[in-house]
Amino acid sequence: MKKILFVCTGNTCRSPMAEALLKEKSDQFDVQSAGIFAFSDGEANPLTVKVLEEKGIRCEHQTQPLTDTLVSWADLILTMTEQHKQNVIEKFRSAEGKTFTFKQYVSDNPSDMDISDPFGGALEQYRKTLQDIETCVNRLLEKIEDKKLEG
The Cα-based distances of 104 to 53, 68, 109, 149 in angstroms read: 28, 23, 7, 22
By residue count, the chain amounts to 151
Q: Which of 14, 114, 132, 136 is catalytic?
A: 14
Is 13 noted as a catalytic residue in this protein? Answer: no
Is 68 noted as a catalytic residue in this protein? Answer: no
The Cα-based distances of 16 to 20, 30, 73, 93 in angstroms read: 6, 14, 18, 24
Q: Which of 30, 117, 127, 139 is catalytic?
A: 117
Is 14 noted as a catalytic residue in this protein? Answer: yes
**Residue 73 parent element (H or E):** helix 68-73
Catalytic residues: 8, 14, 117
